[in-house]
């Protein structure tokens, strides 16, 4: 989940440039000068730039080399020789091994400051921009926030052992997990009992992975690469009943509920909305921050009852349906057919007739689409990590006076912001959304206004 700052170039602070390869596994004492945007410490030795996971600025560490290419060395701090005054004890026993949480050694306030610096740096360096106003970080619980997780499962034939846990950082190694502090409480109890369940099954070789979800109910999705026997199905059903969880199975074809009557969804309480989804659909993992994010997006967009609003990359209707409570018409567009159908169904469930959903390739010019011909008063977009450059190039032609851009990648947000400015918009406000505490992953929101 932590993002690597591959676009940054660092100048070594003196020393002779070495041409000798740094071997994997080598130990090196390092003085950490600052943090990279992904939260790794940066050190310089003999003309090489070292990126060191688990290290903080102003620390002396002993690090082990994980890999090297050209003048870049990636390493992991194995011993802190001189600690930063900011360093805190990591609350999780698996920190430093599991690849999920990479910043538990940094206090939460400092994590937020790192994310804020990352966003500001990207906007400045890539786009030459600074918002007219910075918004306060949008935050939720530091732990017990994650309502979705994938558990890795692998049968080790040589050892005749089933490994269950999370992937190690930058590795296929599975770290056995008996607890996970970032999961919501109902999923924590499932994680604790899951390894014993899976190892009790008669055909562990048939297992792929497990996905856990929590919304209006908890659910367990088991991916299996061979058919499951009736005895194993009964064990799974008993386990899910004990943990008040739905059982979903994913063999050949699409995931399906063991009980066809099961429905999985989540609520947006502020707007009295229920959104259904299926395992595999994109759902924001942090429910409190998601609801606060929707509220902030609508506040910044300031939709009026008479307006026509466009929601791009709409997914299940996470923004479109709350918008439909406040405006004359919402046109919502998504690239994946199945998600469009799911969003339409969610509009029906909630009795909303003024939200209209369309499938479209959003890498193509928007003005050519039938749904775009009447123009829009405002636009909200929430693209994937590669951003929305083609959308930004044509947004000015839709007539929108206000644009809210929700981003999961500050680099592509900065790139697209520069294009929106060229389209005649100005960057009025921006701020971070702390969707993934204990990681360096940065989500952000920006408001643009025409003129």
Annotation: binding site for S-adenosyl-L-methionine: 284, 313, 318, 334, 361, 382
Determine the distance from the C-alpha atom of residue 135 to the mean position of all C-alpha atoms in its chain, rounded to a whole number: 21
Task: Please enumerate, by residue number, every residue annotated as part of a binding site for [4Fe-4S] cluster.
Answer: 92, 98, 101, 180
**Four-point Cα dihedral 123, 129, 135, 139, nearest 10:** 0
Distance between CA atoms of residues 153 and 205, nearest Å: 10
* φ, ψ at 276 (rounded to 5°): -85, 150
From residue 187, give the alpha-carbon distance in Å to each of 68, 69, 154, 165, 412: 38, 40, 21, 14, 33
Concatenated DSSP letters of 354-399: SEEEEE--TTS-GGGSGGGTT--SEEEE---TT--HHHHHHGGGGT
Label the pairing between strands 72-82 and 133-134. unpaired
Q: Which residues are catalytic?
A: 408
Q: Do the Cβ atoms of 347 and 357 come closer than 8 Å?
A: yes
Residue holding tokens 């009852």?
A: 305
Q: Do the Cβ atoms of 401 and 433 come closer than 8 Å?
A: no
């Amino acid at each position: 989940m932590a993002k690597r700052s591959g676009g940054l170039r660092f100048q070594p602070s003196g020393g002779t440039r070495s041409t000798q390869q740094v071997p994997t596994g080598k130990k090196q004492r390092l003085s950490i000068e600052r943090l990279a945007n992904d939260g790794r410490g940066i050190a310089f030795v003999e003309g090489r730039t070292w990126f060191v996971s688990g290290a903080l600025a102003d620390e002396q560490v002993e690090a082990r080399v994980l890999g090297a290419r050209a003048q870049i060395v990636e390493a992991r701090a194995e011993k802190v020789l001189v600690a930063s005054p900011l360093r805190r004890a990591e609350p999780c026993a698996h920190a430093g091994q599991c690849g999920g949480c990479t910043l538990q050694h940094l206090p939460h306030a400092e994590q937020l400051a790192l994310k804020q610096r990352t966003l500001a740096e990207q906007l400045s360096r890539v786009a030459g921009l600074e918002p007219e106003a910075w918004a306060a970080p949008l935050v939720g619980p530091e732990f017990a926030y994650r309502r979705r997780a994938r558990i890795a499962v692998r049968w080790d034939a040589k050892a005749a052992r089933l490994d269950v846990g999370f992937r190690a950082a930058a590795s296929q190694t599975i770290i056995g997990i008996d607890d996970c502090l970032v999961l919501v409480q109902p999923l924590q109890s499932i994680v604790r009992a899951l390894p014993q369940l899976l190892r009790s099954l008669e055909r562990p070789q048939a297992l792929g992975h497990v996905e856990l979800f929590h919304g209006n109910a908890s659910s367990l999705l088991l991916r299996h690469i061979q058919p499951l026997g009736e005895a194993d199905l009964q064990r799974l059903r008993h386990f899910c009943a004990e943990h008040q969880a739905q059982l979903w199975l994913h063999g050949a074809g699409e995931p399906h509920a063991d009980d066809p009557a099961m429905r999985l969804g989540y609520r947006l309480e502020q707007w009295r909305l229920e959104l259904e989804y299926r395992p595999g659909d994109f759902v924001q993992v942090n429910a409190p921050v998601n609801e606060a994010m929707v509220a902030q997006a609508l506040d910044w967009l300031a939709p009026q009852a008479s307006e026509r609003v466009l929601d791009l990359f709409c997914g299940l209707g996470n923004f479109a349906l709350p918008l439909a409570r406040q405006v004359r018409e919402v046109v919502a567009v998504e690239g994946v057919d199945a998600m469009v159908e799911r969003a339409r169904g969610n509009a029906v469930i909630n009795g909303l007739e003024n939200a209209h959903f369309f499938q479209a390739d959003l890498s193509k010019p928007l003005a050519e689409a039938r749904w775009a011909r009447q123009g829009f008063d405002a636009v909200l977009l929430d693209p994937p990590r590669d951003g929305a450059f083609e959308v930004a190039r044509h947004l000015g032609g839709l007539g929108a006076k206000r644009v809210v851009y929700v981003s999961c990648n500050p680099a592509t947000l900065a790139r697209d912001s520069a294009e929106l400015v060229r389209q005649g918009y100005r960057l009025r406000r921006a701020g971070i959304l702390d969707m993934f505490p204990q990681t360096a992953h940065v989500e952000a929101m920006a408001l643009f206004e025409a003129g």
